[in-house]
Amino acid sequence: MSRPRATDGDTTRGAPLFRLLPFPAHGTAMDGAGPALVRRGSMRKLLPSVPDQQQQLAMSNQLIDSRTSSPRGAHCYGPFFLEYALLAEYNLLQRQRLPGVYTVPAARTPLVWFGVLFIRQGYYQEGVFRFSVIIPEQFPDGDCPRVVMETPVFHPLVHPETGEVDIRRGFQRWKRNSHHIWHVLLYLRKAFYKIETVQPSNPEAAVMFEKARDMFALRAAECVKLSRDRLMDPPASDDPHSIVFSQFRPEVHEPVRQAMLQPKKEEDLPSGPASAGYSWVQPGTLDIFSKPESL
């Protein structure tokens, strides 16, 4: 049985720095990166920045055809509400900054989020597992979102054939407002650090974990290796937002990396007289015009 190493596998191992397509999703490495990217990213696909009537009409057609309005809204705005709810969820997720978990919503549907999970300790140390979060259409009123691993993972909670992780055990009844998608991802991450064997999706793995810990460790190491071997493979989905890994190429990646390492300072942000508001309230008071006029 190999003891988990203390080092941080995915960061010490230099070579593959996953390619950002189109934007990094979320996580510690890009903590500064989050929100704005998302605003411009996939979730906004319905709201193109350049108004184009044709395009809009086409898209709204698509929307209306593909889904019926939300029963609650009784309006044609149902799909929008779903998207906004998911966008809000995504914003929440960003604030959590779950270590080693990166997600990005698919370009074609807001109901699928692609993710990648870096395991930094334990039996699955150094594993880089791709997964998808599949969100029910009724969200937030429907069932718990599902999580499906892309590469086979030998794990008591991962179904050996479908790759689906048993998340529902953590969320017997999905409650809007108290359950959020980041909870799902947190639960997923925890499952790889603290192995649970009760009511397993993969009984073999569960039994092995209980009875033959060494064997289990070997099998886990195997799937870690497998995950790393197949890291550079093209993703299963052809969605433009699916996460793709490629070798680090300085000419391509270095400028981006540098830019990320040096996030723009606040004063660089656009602010002119036109965009700036006014405040003459001296801190510590609630008196208007208490701040001396800046000359």
CB of 275 to other proteins, least distance (A): 5
Which CB atom, from 76 or from 212, has the smaller least distance to other proteins?
A: 76
Q: Which residues contact 192 (CB under 8 A, 6 or more apart)?
A: 117, 119, 122, 123, 124, 127, 129, 155
Q: Rounded to 5 degrees, what angle do the CA atoms 187, 190, 194 make?
A: 135
CB of 49 to other proteins, least distance (A): 8
What would the two tokens of residue 154 be?
Answer: 């030998």
Which CB atom, from 229 or from 287, has the smaller least distance to other proteins?
A: 287
Q: Which residues contact 77 (CB under 8 A, 6 or more apart)?
A: 69, 70
Q: Cα-flanking dihedrals φ and ψ of residue 45, to 5°? A: -65, -25
Cα 194 to chain center, whole Å? 21
**Cβ atoms within 10 Å, residue 143:** 13
Q: Cα-flanking dihedrals φ and ψ of residue 249, to 5°? A: -115, 110
CB of 118 to other proteins, least distance (A): 22
- Yes or no: say if 228 and 89 are a contact pair by the CB < 8 Å rule: no
CB of 293 to other proteins, least distance (A): 6
Look at strands 146-149 and 164-165 and give their pairing. Answer: antiparallel
Which CB atom, from 106 or from 153, has the smaller least distance to other proteins?
A: 106
CB of 172 to other proteins, least distance (A): 20
CB of 262 to other proteins, least distance (A): 8
Which CB atom, from 59 or from 226, has the smaller least distance to other proteins?
A: 59
Cα dihedral: 238, 240, 243, 244 (round 10)? 80
Which CB atom, from 12 or from 53, has the smaller least distance to other proteins?
A: 53
Which CB atom, from 6 or from 295, has the smaller least distance to other proteins?
A: 295
